[in-house]
Amino acid sequence: MMQLLSQTSWWVPAYGLIGAVLTLPWSIGLVRRTGPRPAAYFNILMTVAAFLHTVLLLWAVWDQPPERWLIPWLSIPGLVDIWLTLVTSKASVGAALLITGLSLITQIFALGYLEKDWALARFYALMGFFEAALSGIALSDSLFFSYALLEMLTLSTYLLVGFWYAQPLVVTAARDAFLTKRVGDLLLLMGVVTLSTIAGSLDFTHLALWAPNAHLSPLVANLLGLALLAGPVGKCAQYPLNLWLDEAMEGPNPASILRNSVVVACGAYVLIKLQPVLALSPVALTTLMVLGGMTAIGASLVAIAQVDIKRTLAHSTSAYLGLVFLAVGMQQDEVALLFLFVHAIAKALLFMSVGSVILTTSTQDLREMGGIASRMPATTTAYVVGAAASVGLLPLGGFWAMMEWAEGIWSQSPWLVGILLLVNGLTTFNLVRVFGLVFWGTPKPKTRRTPEVPWLMAVPMMTLAIFTLIVPVMLQQWGMLPGWNHPDRNAILLLIISGGLGAAVSSWFYLNDRFPKPVDVVWQSVRDVLAYDFWIDRLYKLSVVLGISKGSQLTAWFDRYIVDGLVNFVGVASIFSGESLKYTVSGQSRTYLLTVFSGLLLGITAVGWAFWNWSF
């Protein structure tokens, strides 16, 4: 039984693809009489099958060593032989279980959220495609296979962000998300091709064995590490490729649930598997930590200045992925995986509660909300639980992840603990701020008659809230929590102080009726810089966009006047010479023979003279 479950592990990604195919008759309009809901039911059914299969698979491999399975994909004798490699271990199957579980909850939630949307079937087709790519990355042991699935995620992101394609802002957001990711993907492809040539294999298991004994020049190692780093930087919305996640919030909220919980985590997951190769380049590890630290602090500040409820949570996602990058740069892979696990669950719950608020108020502007707590108790509870689990609040999952992270680097790099505490304090400030603007205070015109969401949204939301609360118990059962025999009291105290200070300051401004909302805490110029993400869009226009624009103009000028001019000159010269030579035709054979003889004589003389000079 266990062997059969392991051998059929490739079915887990296939379920999502099957669900996407089954929805095609409804999504392309072949079936209209029944409405689009049967397409949703088919896709949910396949997700249930994937979830149950993954549960059984995790039970089968829990006490077993990792096992690799080779699936032949492309074989040309003597030329190429490509296998799709899967690995079944606690980590990989656990990641697949998290993906399928969150996908199932999200799809049930989407039934209520998109109940009246005419393109419901198309949404579920894209969600099946999304789920297949995500679960495939979780189980993949091949960098080649993972790269192909990351490209599937890029395409899925483009289609889901542009789901409501009739809106111009949505089209712009989808385009920017696709192009921003393509920058990192192109550099990652260069690294994949180079690594395949150097290492002779793209399987993560083989690369982990090859890397410690590899002898690469510093230049090659650094360039290879930076190229492999570029792809995850784009996928995880890290600086300078962080702009897309903010704009991607124009898509449907159920897609944002997965995007901010597990989609952005896939880039970090691949990065963790590539850690032995990245360790060959100190420059790559330093770059990884610099980008992670900049994004963690910068995105936390930017999140506070946002007035769009989804965008403020999206920037906090980038900030937490920056902490994951710092953990990978410090070669703390287990801590990075723990961070991804607890963050995915908490952030999914936050986006579910936010989606409920958006659906009932028909707005995403924080300035138009307030006083929802008494009218939407289930949504308020879900938000509070998700926010508490996202920060260092004892005893929820976020606290244990930060505690593990701080204990591992306390003696090595104390300044990194400072970044962790700052991000924890700023995130707590931001989440309390959102609570004060949305759920606290006096109701606004759009929130005076806000009912609680229907059961199709409330049930999965509360189910995930309960699961979030029992995450510490699960971590204790799995042996992933630090023991209390010798706790680092300094780290515990600093985490509690940073979170408490952020909550206290935010409560003073946003839970206090004496301050008008929103509160002008800092100067307008500072708020503008943070609200527009440090003007990174202008930086793009002044650097990349301007360079490409001027370069294209120069290329067009060179093509028009140099290349075309040279071609036209050759054409004119050919016409002129042809017209001139026609007057030399006499029609006499002796003249032609004399010309041929003279040409041969001159040719032989030139060759002989050149040979004589070369010999002597």
Rounded Cα distance, 46 and 322, in Å? 34
**Bridge-based pairing state of the strands 80-88 and 67-76:** antiparallel
Domain assignment present for 391: yes
Task: Compute the 3-state secondary structure of the chain and give helix, strand, coil in percent, each to the nearest 5.
Answer: 75, 5, 20
Q: What confidence score (pLDDT) does residue 531 get?
A: 74
Domain assignment present for 419: yes
237: its two tokens: 């919305």
pLDDT band at 81, cuts 50/70/90? low
Q: What confidence score (pLDDT) does residue 616 get?
A: 58
Rounded Cα distance, 147 and 188, in Å? 8
Report the Cα 15 to chain-centroid distance in Å.
22
Q: What confidence score (pLDDT) does residue 572 get?
A: 80
The string of pLDDT tens digits covering residues 270-291 is: 888 888 888 888 888 888 888 8
Q: 149 with 131, same domain?
A: no
Q: What confidence score (pLDDT) does residue 537 get?
A: 76
Question: Of 84, 109, 141, which closes a domain?
Answer: 141
Domain assignment present for 54: yes
Stretch 126-132: mean pLDDT, rounded? Answer: 89
Stretch 445-469: mean pLDDT, rounded? Answer: 87
The string of pLDDT tens digits covering residues 423-438 is: 999 999 999 999 988 8
- Decide if pLDDT at 451 tops 90: no
Domain assignment present for 550: no
Contact 295, 242 (CB under 8 A): yes
Domain assignment present for 234: yes
Q: Which domain holds residue 355?
A: 142-531
Rounded Cα distance, 61 and 8, in Å? 13
pLDDT band at 384, cuts 50/70/90? very high
In 2-151, which ranges are E strands?
67-76, 80-88
Q: What confidence score (pLDDT) does residue 583 get?
A: 62
Q: What confidence score (pLDDT) does residue 585 get?
A: 65
Beta bridge partners of 86: 69, 140
Stretch 217-227: mean pLDDT, rounded? Answer: 88
Rounded Cα distance, 93 and 67, in Å? 11
Q: 108 with 49, same domain?
A: yes
Q: What are phi and psi of 186, to 5 degrees?
A: -65, -45
Question: Of 125, 141, 157, which closes a domain?
Answer: 141
Q: 494 with 426, same domain?
A: yes
Query: 203: how many CB neighbours lie within 10 A of its CB?
Result: 21
Domain assignment present for 469: yes
Q: What are phi and psi of 236, to 5 degrees?
A: -95, 10
Q: 336 with 422, same domain?
A: yes
Contact 329, 288 (CB under 8 A): yes
pLDDT band at 349, cuts 50/70/90? very high
Q: 218 with 361, same domain?
A: yes
Residue of 346 and 446 predicted with greater confidence: 346
Q: 150 with 125, same domain?
A: no
Q: Which of 434, 202, 210, 209 is nearest to 311 (CA)?
A: 434
The string of pLDDT tens digits covering residues 472-518 is: 888 887 777 765 555 667 778 888 888 889 888 888 888 877 767 66
The string of pLDDT tens digits covering residues 585-604 is: 666 676 777 777 887 888 88
Question: Of 141, 160, 193, which closes a domain?
Answer: 141
Q: What confidence score (pLDDT) does residue 383 get?
A: 93
274: its two tokens: 């590539």
Q: 517 with 430, same domain?
A: yes
Q: 410 with 508, same domain?
A: yes
Q: What confidence score (pLDDT) does residue 160 get?
A: 87
Query: 179: how many CB neighbours lie within 10 A of its CB?
Result: 11
Domain assignment present for 336: yes
Q: What confidence score (pLDDT) does residue 485 get?
A: 58
The string of pLDDT tens digits covering residues 15-64 is: 988 988 888 888 877 877 777 888 889 999 999 999 998 988 888 888 78
Q: 356 with 463, same domain?
A: yes
Q: What average pLDDT does the structure give for the chain? A: 84
Q: 125 with 155, same domain?
A: no
The string of pLDDT tens digits covering residues 170-185 is: 888 888 888 888 888 8
Q: 101 with 208, same domain?
A: no
**Measured torsion, CA atoms of residues 9, 11, 12, 14, in degrees rounded to the nearest 10:** 150
Rounded Cα distance, 367 and 441, in Å? 12
In order of 141, 330, 356, the CA distances from 67 in angstroms are 10, 27, 42
User: In a 3-state reduction of DSSP, which class is residue 362?
Assistant: coil
The string of pLDDT tens digits covering residues 531-582 is: 777 777 778 777 777 788 888 888 888 888 888 888 888 888 877 777 666 6
**Least confident residue range of 80-94, 134-148, 249-263:** 80-94
In order of 16, 133, 134, 157, the CA distances from 150 in angstroms are 15, 7, 8, 10
End-to-end CA distance of the chain: 86
Q: What are phi and psi of 593, to 5 degrees?
A: -65, -40
Q: Which of 115, 143, 281 is nearest to 201 (CA)?
A: 143
224: its two tokens: 């290879």
User: In a 3-state reduction of DSSP, which class is residue 587?
Assistant: coil
Q: What confidence score (pLDDT) does residue 109 get?
A: 92
Q: 522 with 411, same domain?
A: yes
Domain assignment present for 549: no
8-state DSSP, 369: -
- Decide if pLDDT at 463 tops 80: yes
The pLDDT > 70 percentage for the chain reads 93
Q: Which pTM value belongs to this model?
A: 0.86
Contact 256, 249 (CB under 8 A): yes
Number of structural domains found in the chain: 3
Does the CA dihedral 407-411-413-419 come out positive or negative?
A: positive
